[in-house]
């Protein structure tokens, strides 16, 4: 197994506060906008939704890996996440993300083990663990070629 992996995505501004995000080797794109509370368009994914969804999907995938390895039989798992965005000195930031998994198992004898695996998944989810990660800006500014009149 490799010790490093690289994931790429790109976002393109299309109009007003709207854009399209795509990812390497993923055939479908996602239309997004700023949130309506920041003059964006309602009814579209926002960067805020995508961040909170990343936590939910990572938690679910991590938990499923643990249940497969431990042979825990899962009937159903739904993960709801809720992110609290607050204005602080320096700007808005997520101050809390709640993860609310609803797990259904077949055998009542597995309840304690299921709870331990849920807690383990919360600690191991790489997205949650990465949210305070170092960010680096590598900007490139280009000048558009003059368009003939």
Q: With bands split at pLDDT 50, 70 and 90, how would you rate the model's confidence at 143?
A: low
Taking CA atoms, 25 is separated from 28, 55, 142, in Å, by 9, 21, 26
Looking at residue 144, what is its pLDDT?
A: 58
For 66, phi then psi, to 5°, come to -65, -40
pLDDT at 139 over 70: no
**Which has more pLDDT, 11 or 147?**
11
pTM of the predicted model as reported, rounded to 2 decimal places: 0.87
Q: With bands split at pLDDT 50, 70 and 90, how would you rate the model's confidence at 115?
A: very high
* CATH architecture for residues 46-128: 2-Layer Sandwich (3.30)
- Measure the CA–CA gap between 140 and 149, rounded to whole angstroms: 27
CA atoms within 13 A on the CB side of 67: 23
- Measure the CA–CA gap between 70 and 98, rounded to whole angstroms: 25
pLDDT at 87 over 80: yes
- Measure the CA–CA gap between 86 and 91, rounded to whole angstroms: 8
For 9, phi then psi, to 5°, come to -145, 165
- Kindly state the average pLDDT of the residues 84-94: 92
Tokens 């969804």 locate to: 53
pLDDT tens across 44-76, in order? 999 999 999 999 999 999 999 999 999 999 999
């Amino acid at each position: 197994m490799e010790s490093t992996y690289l994931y790429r995505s790109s976002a393109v501004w299309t109009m007003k506060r709207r854009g399209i995000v795509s990812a390497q080797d993923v055939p479908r794109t996602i239309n997004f906008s700023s949130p309506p509370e920041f003059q964006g368009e309602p009814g579209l994914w926002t960067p805020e939704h995508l961040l909170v969804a990343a936590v939910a999907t990572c938690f679910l995938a991590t938990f499923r890996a643990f249940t497969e390895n431990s042979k825990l039989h899962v009937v159903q798992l739904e993960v709801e996440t809720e992110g609290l965005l607050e204005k602080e000195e320096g700007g808005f930031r997520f101050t809390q993300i709640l993860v609310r998994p609803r797990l259904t198992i077949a055998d009542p004898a597995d309840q304690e083990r299921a709870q331990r695996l849920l807690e383990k998944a919360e600690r191991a989810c790489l997205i949650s663990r990465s949210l305070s990660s170092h960010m680096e800006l590598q900007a490139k500014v280009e000048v558009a070629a003059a368009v003939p009149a």
